[in-house]
Amino acid sequence: MIRVGAGEFKRRKLLTLKGTDTRPTADRVKGAIFSMVKQDIPGAICLDLFTGTGALGIEALSRGAERVYFCDRSKASIIVLKKNLAICGIDDRRAVVILKDWRAAVSIIEEKCNLVFIDAPYNMCEYYPQILESLAHEHVLEKDASLVIERDALADLYVLPLGFEKVTRKRYGNVGVDLLRYTGAGERNG
Question: What pLDDT is attached to residue 189?
Answer: 44
Question: What pLDDT is attached to residue 123?
Answer: 81
- The dihedrals phi and psi of 6, each to the nearest 5 degrees, come to -155, 165
Question: What pLDDT is attached to residue 130?
Answer: 95
Q: Give me the tens of pLDDT residue by residue for the chain, a chain 190 residues long.
A: 788 999 999 999 999 987 645 566 777 889 999 999 999 999 999 999 999 999 999 999 999 999 999 999 999 999 999 999 999 999 999 999 999 999 999 999 989 999 999 998 888 888 999 999 999 999 999 999 999 999 998 887 889 999 999 999 999 999 999 999 999 865 544 4
Residue 175 makes CB contacts below 8 A (sequence gap 6+) with 26, 29, 150, 151, 152, 153
With beta carbons less than 8 A apart as the criterion, state whether 162 and 185 touch: yes
Q: Which of 64, 183, 81, 97 has its CA nearest to residue 135?
A: 183
Question: What pLDDT is attached to residue 156?
Answer: 77
| pLDDT one-digit tens code per residue, 113-125 | 999 999 988 888 8
Q: What is the pTM of this model?
A: 0.93
What domains are there in the chain, each with its CATH number? 2-182 (3.40.50.150)
Task: Name the CA radius of gyration of the chain, rounded.
Answer: 15
